[in-house]
Chains A and B, each alone.
Chain A
């Protein structure tokens, strides 16, 4: 059975979803889907160990050898991504007990879990496959389920946000489809490894260059890369709280993975000038995203929207690392993938907890929160420190590597961008903490304890696991650093 882990990774949640669909009861569905996601997570750990010890796994689906059949190819980067996505999927689902889903209508809750599993399966499928068209299919599974997860919120603005995301997402996916079509037309193959071998010979062809452009724009739309990010703040703000936590921790990470996969594996800077050009563009866009989105975040009053803009900025860091395309910077990107999943997952879970207790995350409600929910408050502070990049938190490690990479290239401007981004992050995190800390006389008097649904224990556990992970991986950095180093070496070996 161990030789089949690669496919089970995706098939378990994929088959679990229709099985859960037939259960009907929310509580039962939650338990079932939680079980499935935990199994999925266990598989990803097994897979990682396997790849770590024995090198890349190639799994021929249907027994047909690539390039005729579809191949699952798990190297260290895939395994690392699968671990991040499935671990986050399991943790957020742990928090998403049916009573925690207060912003979703009761009769829609069972479907939440089904859509959640489908989304998880789609994201894992993208991260596991070695076939370009298969990427498109699983991208659509994850996207469609994402649209309906967002639209599940009772708030009508969620519908509009979901619709706009649907339009943008479909255009993005179709761009990717055009790009894949061009590549297929020029090479006759869809397998990524096969493509990587055949493309250098026709590197100067117009169609190949256009294919690169289309795929990058398409993935950029999914990634919410500045200036293609307009859908993200709305989608994150209006989605149900736990959905936001899940999306922030996984969806954009998988898009970053796709950029890496196409930029350094299918295409490679070593054989084509236009990819170097593309990397420069990524570097510029990433830097602008860091500064601009952080600046916008400071001006937000809605905390969810503030964190959403902060996500756009953090994606900027990852893209910067890709753009610099050195060994160290790629490692920084991969590290930041991991760390950002921890901090944003943690922070959005904190927000979800608060929303559950207080019924909303309106700024007026949150004043004086530090007295009423001191533990939750400190959880937010720790997550926020990690977001800023304070030493002894996970966020520090990835920024440290990024700054080192910039110094290595003697690029003081980039160093300044990273530091300025951290300073801006400090301002917006402080803004929230200030709201929590200082009591407003008006609201302090009418501190309502009327509708206070109990926060499920599982939710607190999930939240604290993520918050503690932020500290733990800031001190004991062996796991992510080793893995990301292997990943970066693999990428620069390929290029």
Chain B
């Protein structure tokens, strides 16, 4: 397998990580930041799942007709991480609603301006 196709997934992950982080840092809108944060997290999920894949393997549910399975452990870890991700997102959105109610804005520059 060539270097290109052998590592392509990981490079895609790197690109997604950067896009996600870029949105978080670059955008002033709080909801946009959260979307970016989610993309950033999902990129890591994709990385873990890619690591777990075995060429020619199948889903890790025991069955007599298969002998080669993909690695189940990354799947377990990522299930946990997805749950953590949605928990964080929900909490952050609740914060956004409160911020909107008390500052009247969800733009970073507005909020910073108000408390100076």
Contact = CB atoms under 8 A, between A and B. Distances in A.
Given A151-B95, A157-B115, A160-B115, A133 B77 contact: yes
Which DSSP category, helix, strand, loop or mixed, fits chain A's interface?
Answer: helix
A11 interface: no
A177 interface: yes
Interface residues on A, range: 20 to 34
A178 B44 contact: yes
B47 A181 contact: yes
Nearest to A234: B115
A177 B30 contact: no
B115 A166 contact: no
Interface string A141-158: 000100110010000110
Interface in A124-139: 133, 136-137
Contacts of A144: 87-88, 91
A296 to B, nearest CB: 17
B16 interface: no
Given A140-B88, A166-B92, A178 B51 contact: no
A137 B91 contact: no
A156 B103 contact: yes
A162 interface: yes
B99 A147 contact: no
A391 to B, nearest CB: 42
Interface string A161-180: 01100110011001001100
Contacts of B103: 156, 160
A171 B41 CA distance: 8
Contact of B91 (A166, A174, A181, A185): A166
Nearest to A137: B80
Nearest to A186: B51
Contact of B88 (A133, A160, A170): A170
B44 A181 contact: yes
B18 interface: no
A262 interface: no
B51 A177 contact: no
B99 A163 contact: yes
A151 B98 contact: yes
A274 interface: no
Which DSSP category, helix, strand, loop or mixed, fits chain B's interface?
Answer: helix
B21 interface: yes
Chain A CB within 10 Å, residue with most, of B92, B95, B115: B95
Chain B CB within 10 Å, residue with most, of A136, A137, A144, A167: A167
Interface in B36-69: 37, 40-41, 44, 47-48, 51
A324 interface: no
A152 to B, nearest CB: 11
A159 B87 contact: no
A170 B81 CA distance: 12
Contacts of A140: 84, 87-88
B95 A185 contact: no
Contacts of B40: 171, 174
Contact of B102 (A159, A162, A185): A159
A295 interface: no
Contact of A170 (B37, B47, B51, B95): B37
B79 to A, nearest CB: 12
Nearest to B92: A166
A137 B84 contact: yes
Chain A CB within 10 Å, residue with most, of B24, B47, B80, B81: B81
B44 A162 contact: no
Contacts of A137: 80, 84
Given A170-B41, A174-B41, A148 B115 contact: no
A190 B76 CA distance: 13
Contact of A181 (B30, B37, B48, B96): B48
A144 B88 CA distance: 7
B19 interface: no
B80 A181 contact: no
A163 B111 CA distance: 12
B89 to A, nearest CB: 9
B24 A163 contact: no
Given A171-B40, A185-B51, A163 B80 contact: no
A184 B30 CA distance: 33
Nearest to A175: B44
A151 B99 CA distance: 10
Contact of A167 (B37, B51, B98): B37
19 contacts: A140-B88, A144-B91, A151-B98, A156-B103, A160-B99, A160-B115, A162-B95, A163-B92, A166-B91, A166-B92, A166-B95, A170-B88, A174-B41, A177-B44, A177-B81, A178-B17, A181-B44, A181-B48, A190-B73
> 10 shortest A-B CB distances, which residue pairs?
A156-B102, A140-B84, A163-B95, A185-B51, A159-B99, A159-B98, A166-B92, A181-B48, A177-B44, A170-B88
